[in-house]
Structure 1
Amino acid sequence: NYVDFFYASKLENLVLEKNKVEDDFEVGDALLLDKFVWHRSVPFLEGKLQSRMAYTMRFVDSQARYSKTFLDGLYSLIKAKGDDTLTSFGYKLTDLKDGDLISKSKFVEC
């Protein structure tokens, strides 16, 4: 089951697919990655799936700045692909203007 990276060209997709790595995780394992790592989920296999709990934390650099233009573009790409945005957190940072430090928002805990 091949799933395209919708941000990548056909050539990039071929390179990514050829070099992909799939890990088996066990309870207590953690995966750390940065914004330069291409990642995706793999399709679910048929049959009953084992239930699991997962916890996701996102760390943001203290100098990261808000960009509504970037946020709008990202959500447009996701919706154009027919996917649902899993979060609208970026739109809840209503006290920020373009270029403001995200860490200065009253809605962000540092």
Structure 2
Amino acid sequence: MYSDIDPAIDKMMQSIAENDPENLDLQSYLELRHSVLNSSAISTLLEYFKCTDAFVPGDVFIFNKNVIHVSEPLLEGPIETRTAFVMRFVDIDSRYDLTRAKGLDFPDKYFGHPPSSDFHRRVSQQDGQFIRDSLIFSPEFPRKLLKVND
């Protein structure tokens, strides 16, 4: 999905924006962007292969960017709300992908419809930069860099 479908959508929409702008509209973009992942065929596959776990307060769930996940509603019980804490682990050799980041900005650039987060803009603007050298990592805060050999 993330390595093939999203870049294909970005490439097609950029081509339409440059070569056929009168046929470019936000609703079509959003439908294309969301309909593939939310199609009945994908839903059937995800439902068949889903894994459901029982979590209790204090549990930690770690997954990578290739996991498609959905939040479950908080059921009735003694807890009225729950807080989620997100921590991003970055591989020491991870590099910034400017092409993918610009794909996230497409609806903002052409329709004034900003993305749900600006995190990708704050990480870097330099394609191929090591994420570990990004401005998001303040030198005043300690960090631990480890290279783990397989």
**TM-score w.r.t. structure 2 length?**
0.52
Structure 1 segment 48-63 matched on structure 2, within 5 A: 50-63=80-93
Structure 1 pair 108–50 and aligned structure 2 pair: CA distance change class (3 A): same
Conserved in 1, the CA contact under 8 Å of 2:74 and 2:81?
Answer: no
Which residue of 2 is the match for residue 73 of structure 1? 103
The Cα offsets for residues 26-77 of structure 1, whole Å up to 9 and x where unpaired, read as: 11100011122221224x4798982112211110111111122201224548
Structure 1 pair 98–37 and aligned structure 2 pair: CA distance change class (3 A): same
Structure 1 segment 10-89 matched on structure 2, within 5 A: 10-42=40-72, 44=73, 50-74=80-104, 76=106, 85=116, 87-89=117-119
- Equivalents in 1 of 2:65, 2:88: separation in Å? 11
Unpaired runs of 5+ residues, structure 1, are: none
Counterpart amino acid of residue 106 in structure 1: L
- Equivalents in 2 of 1:46, 1:83: separation in Å? 32
Counterpart amino acid of residue 102 in structure 1: I
Higher helix proportion (structure 1 or 2):
2
Structure 1 pair 89–83 and aligned structure 2 pair: CA distance change class (3 A): closer
- Equivalents in 1 of 2:75, 2:59: separation in Å? 25
SS in 1 for 2:100: helix
Measured on the aligned residues, the alpha-carbon RMSD in Å equals 3.4
Which residue of 2 is the match for residue 100 of structure 1? 129
Identity among equivalent pairs (%): 30
- Equivalents in 1 of 2:93, 2:122: separation in Å? 19
**TM-score w.r.t. structure 1 length?**
0.66
Greater C-alpha radius of gyration = 2
Structure 1 pair 7–39 and aligned structure 2 pair: CA distance change class (3 A): farther
Unpaired runs of 5+ residues, structure 2, are: 1-33, 144-150
